[in-house]
Structure formats: structure tokens, C-alpha cells
Structure 1
């Protein structure tokens, strides 16, 4: 992929790492499939590291670039064990920003909140079925916890990623930025 991009465009300006297992790993600790958890972490954190390793030589050679790692808010709660992958994404982001900053390469993480996707709509239907209610009720309960009163669309996440990817300098790097309509209640300095 890197070779094809360089052949076609002569440079690589932005890498957006966005991968994850679709099934959160949680439940009783005695029942956790450790192999599945390790595969989940390798998919996201290991994958992000491997892709970053692949583009760094080109970015170093041109003296600039942006790496954007998509995480998630499960790293800020204890709801699912698989949230540890998002904590690791934030840590990886900071380490990479320290190492790559001297070469003009920024590295940041974006942590989306509740975003309208087919997977989310399926979750609403599944939860509604379990409770014997309409999925609109489940969705309204999720929405009630978001100060802006609405579930994000993927474009909202894309706008933040685009902003980071087009920043003219390296002033913002090593940061974990949240786009969640105010859903997170923590104060992060």
C-alpha cells in the first residue's frame, strides 16, 4: 500500500489508523477469552503500530506528516475489558508523537463517542428486543446522556480528523481528542 501510494502521489501526508474488533470483550473475568482479547488488541494497537512503521520512512524523508489514530471512549470507562485497547492507543499516540515530532510528523488520537452506524442501529434493535420495547426507546435513552441531545454522525468524526490532517504546523501533537457531543463527563487536562 505504501509503495503504491508513493508511486502514484510521490509522498504520504496523512495516515488514519481506524480498526477494531466489532465485538466488545467484557463480562465476568472468569469467562474472558484471553486469546480473543489479545487478537483484539493486536488488531487495533499492533495494526496501528505496523501501519505507522510502514509510512514513517516516507514522512521522515519529506519532513512532515500526520498520523491520526482512531480510538474510542471505552478506554475512559470500565464497561468493557476491551477498552484497554483504547488506553493503549492513547499511550502509543503519545510515544509516537515524542519520537516523530522532531521530524515534523504529528501524531494524535481521536476518540469518538456514540456515532450513528449500522452496528449502533443493530445494537438498539437487539437491546430493545431483549427488553421488549421499541428500539426508539433505547435510542432515546442513549441520546438522553448526550448533552447536545443527538447521536453523532460519521461526518462529525471526519471533520475533526480532517482538521487535524490539514493543520499547518506541529503545534497539536500527542493529544487524545474527543468528539462526542459532550458525552464524556471527565475533565482531562
Structure 2
């Protein structure tokens, strides 16, 4: 519309401002979901895994520093060119059923990433052991749990935290402090 106005077409300034204001939120939401909530955490996770745990490697930091601007540039350039090429049709395309498909795909991708992060980084085990008698070998509870369902304690912790935050309205800050208190108490008692 701005290009047409610059070329001499009769386009109202108010209409240009209204379209910009109306589209800013929905289109920024797509970009934020794709980049800030999905791609950058994924790049960060890959960079952290490249850094290693033993003698730390600078490879992860270097990969993140190089990959992030390249990815953002390609992403911005692609969207700028597509927006320019499609013009008004882009708005119609994004506001139709395609926006719902994009939204569902981004949400699904985000859930997969969060699930992968949870499975990789949340580790909850118990050192509890029981013996039938004083001279018998103790049975470690964690080995029995892992034999039935490996990492079920970690899964229950993640699902429990999600339930409290999403369904019961517990704030994330309260959840973090609650987890810290629970880990401290259960650790001192010897359950965790």
C-alpha cells in the first residue's frame, strides 16, 4: 500500500496506519513463537550439548554465536521478501485457515521441544532401600522403579508441575520456590 501510494495511487494514510496496527500483533505472535519460543531455545540446547560436561569446549558458544545471526537473517529476509511478493494476498492467506495450521504446527513443535528438554534434563531419583532382615542385601527402590518404568519419577515431576501451573493457577515463581523447599526437605530426610 505504501509503494502504491508512493507511485501516485489514491491510498488513504489512515488505512495504511490501520492495517499496520491491526497486523502487528498477529504477525509478531507468529515470529515470536517461531524464533524466541522455539528456535532460539533449540539452538541454545544444541550449543549447551556441544559445550560438554568434562573439559568444557568453546564449540557450543562459537556455534551459537555463528548460527543465531545467520538464522535470524535468513528468517527475516525470507519473510520480508514473501511479504513484499504476496502483498495483500499474504494478509488473506495468513488470516484464513492457514494461520490455524501454522499455529497448531508451532504449538506441536514447541511441545516436542519441551518434552525433549524435560526428558534430557530433569532427573529425579530416590536412594531409598529396604532389607528383609539385618543381614540381607538391601533392595534399592530406584532399581525396581527403573525396571518397571524408567524415569517415571522425572515424568511425574514434570507432569505435576505442569498440572499445578496450567490447571491450578500456581505461579511459576511459587513453583520454583516450592520445588526448592521440597528438594531441600526431602534431601535432608533421605528420600531424594
TM-score bucket of the superposed structures, by smaller chain? 0.3 to 0.5
- Structure of greater Rg: 2
Indicate the structure with greater helix content: 2
Indicate the structure with greater strand content: 1
Q: What TM-score comes out, normalization by structure 1 length?
A: 0.32
Specify which structure has the bigger relative contact order, considering alpha-carbon pairs within 8 angstroms and separated by 6 or more residues. Answer: 1
Q: What TM-score comes out, normalization by structure 2 length?
A: 0.32
